Amino acid sequence: MIEALVAASVLMMVISTLVPLTSLLLNERENLQQKREMANELHNELQPFLRENKRPLPQRLQKTVDGDEAEFRFTAENNLLKGCVSWENVNDRANQFCLYGYPEK
């Protein structure tokens, strides 16, 4: 009887540890996927600014990326072009990712 009670308590301890850990890992996986999608979209949006010097800076644009609202900002810093994207992740926390590039001459 004691052996069964100890085994059940060990099993419950393992389950109570693994369930929150699994939930956290799935949440972080989704956050990383979202960050990759935002970085990819920022790269795509930055290309016309790098190739065509005719676009006025600074510039902002709102866009939906895979169902998530994102704000893209493009500014000039020294001789570089800076593009940043801001969004709220799965945990409702603000995230930002920036890329820099040299405009074509």
Long-range CB contacts (within 8 A, 24+) of 28-37: 30/90, 31/89, 31/90, 31/91, 34/66, 34/68, 34/87, 34/89, 34/90, 34/95, 35/89, 35/95, 35/97, 37/65, 37/66
pLDDT computed for residue 91 by the predictor? 86
CATH of domain 2-101: 3.30.1300
Backbone φ and ψ of 71, nearest 5°: -115, 125
Domain boundaries, the chain: 2-101
Under 8 Å between Cβ of 99 and 85: no
pLDDT computed for residue 26 by the predictor? 95
Give the rounded percent of residues in the chain with a pLDDT score beyond 90.
80
pLDDT computed for residue 93 by the predictor? 93
pLDDT computed for residue 53 by the predictor? 73
Low-confidence ranges of the chain (pLDDT < 50): none
Q: How far apart are CA 62 and CA 65, in angstroms?
A: 10
pLDDT computed for residue 90 by the predictor? 87
Tell me the β-bridge partners of 84. 73, 98
